[in-house]
């Protein structure tokens, strides 16, 4: 039996709704007439003022259960995801124990619909283009705890197969105006007057525009699905090579599209290792390191064919999204 699309009269509990993706999703939900309750440790943006806000913390089961009361759908966007989270135990507390608390609160309140944003970090260093059938192989605390959290949610869904619906979305790196994550840092490098390209520049990077991933979550909210567990990678296409990305960024800013210098990969790695030695000797951190050079030159491409075949059409193509972000972040005089 296929379940009917959700009624917009239901109240949606959006955990982590004050964050980057959450703020974009709140806007879409409000525009569609949904009742939205933001549960977060941080205050929401002014643009989310029409939504109800309640202070909540996924690490506090009692508080979480209280603040979710009356909701029929839970969307969990809350996570510890940066590389420098300290103490490292916070990854487990927020990502794994937080998932357990969400599931326990859902059981207590009779909530049978959960959407959880995981991450492509569960695949670790990708070989080829991992799809949803590829085996997870996380290497860092973030990827490992996201993988564990997925298992927690699957166990919750398995507890009542005939009525519970679980949607797990694994986005790649998300970018857009106002975000200061990995893509912003990469774009900032590409905008510099003297940009050094390490390697041939043919390696490709999967990315996801914040408005598109929010629109896809909205698509899942309104999709007709029977109870069950569903898994999706989310990436916008095509995955640009570093050369293509450089061209798009520099074209948008009306700057020369060729890098100032091209260095062989081995030379870039040697320079990164030299900075690592200096950092160890001086007790300082530098913008250049061996790991950062490796990440810059790596292929990080994921398959999102399941999303592409679902009937979802992203509101922005990737080129539009890049140019819009560049115009807002790096060309304040331009209007979009």
Reading the chain (336 residues) residue by residue, the pLDDT tens digits are 334 455 666 799 999 999 999 999 999 999 999 999 999 999 999 989 999 999 999 999 999 999 999 999 999 999 987 666 778 888 899 999 999 999 999 999 999 999 999 999 999 988 899 999 999 999 889 999 999 999 999 999 999 999 999 999 999 999 999 998 888 988 998 888 888 999 999 999 999 999 999 999 999 999 877 899 999 999 999 999 999 999 999 999 988 898 889 999 999 999 999 999 999 999 998 888 898 898 889 899 999 999 999 999 999 999 999 999 999 999 755 434
C-alpha dihedral, 256 to 261 to 264 to 268, nearest 10°: -110
Contact of 236 with 308, CB cutoff 8 Å: no
Q: Which residues are catalytic?
A: 142
The domain locations on the chain are 11-179+206-237
Burial class, 100, CB count within 10 angstroms (exposed 0-12 / middle 13-18 / buried 19+): middle
Class of domain 11-179+206-237: alpha beta
Collapse the DSSP code of 4 into the 3-class scheme (helix H, G, I; strand E, B; otherwise coil) and give the result.
coil
Whether residue 191 is preceded by a cis peptide bond, meaning omega within 30 degrees of 0, is no
Degrees to nearest 5, angle at CA 174 with 148 and 297: 90
C-alpha dihedral, 95 to 98 to 104 to 109, nearest 10°: -120
């Amino acid at each position: 039996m296929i379940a009917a699309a959700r009624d917009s009269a239901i109240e949606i509990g959006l955990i982590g709704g004050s964050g980057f993706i959450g703020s974009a999703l709140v806007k879409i939900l409000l525009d569609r007439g949904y009742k939205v309750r933001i549960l977060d440790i941080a205050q929401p943006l002014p643009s989310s003022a029409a939504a109800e806000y309640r202070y909540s913390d996924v690490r506090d089961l009692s508080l979480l259960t209280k603040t979710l009361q009356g909701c029929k759908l839970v969307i969990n966007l809350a996570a510890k995801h940066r590389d420098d989270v300290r103490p490292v135990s916070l990854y487990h507390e927020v990502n794994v124990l937080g998932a357990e608390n969400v599931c326990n609160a859902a059981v207590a309140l009779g909530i049978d619909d959960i959407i959880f944003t995981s991450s492509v970090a569960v695949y670790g260093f990708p070989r080829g283009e991992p799809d949803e059938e590829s085996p997870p192989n996380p290497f860092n605390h973030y990827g490992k705890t996201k993988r564990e959290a997925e298992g927690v949610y699957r166990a919750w869904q398995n507890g009542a197969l005939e009525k519970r619906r679980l949607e797990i979305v694994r986005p790649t790196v998300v970018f857009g105006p106002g975000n200061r994550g990995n893509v912003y840092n990469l774009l900032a490098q590409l905008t510099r007057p003297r940009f050094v390209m390490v390697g041939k520049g043919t390696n490709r990077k999967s990315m996801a525009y914040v408005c598109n991933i929010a629109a896809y979550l909205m698509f899942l909210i309104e999709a007709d699905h029977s109870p069950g567990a569903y898994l999706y990678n989310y990436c916008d296409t095509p995955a640009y090579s570093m050369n293509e990305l450089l061209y798009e960024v520099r074209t948008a800013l009306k700057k020369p599209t060729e890098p100032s210098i091209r260095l062989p990969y081995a030379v870039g790695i040697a320079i990164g290792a030299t900075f690592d030695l200096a950092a160890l000797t001086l007790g300082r951190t530098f913008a250049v390191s061996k790991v950062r050079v490796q990440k810059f030159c790596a292929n990080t491409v994921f398959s999102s064919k399941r999303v592409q075949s679902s009937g979802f059409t992203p509101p922005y193509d990737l080129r539009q999204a890049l140019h819009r972000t560049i115009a807002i972040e790096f060309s304040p005089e331009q209007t979009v």
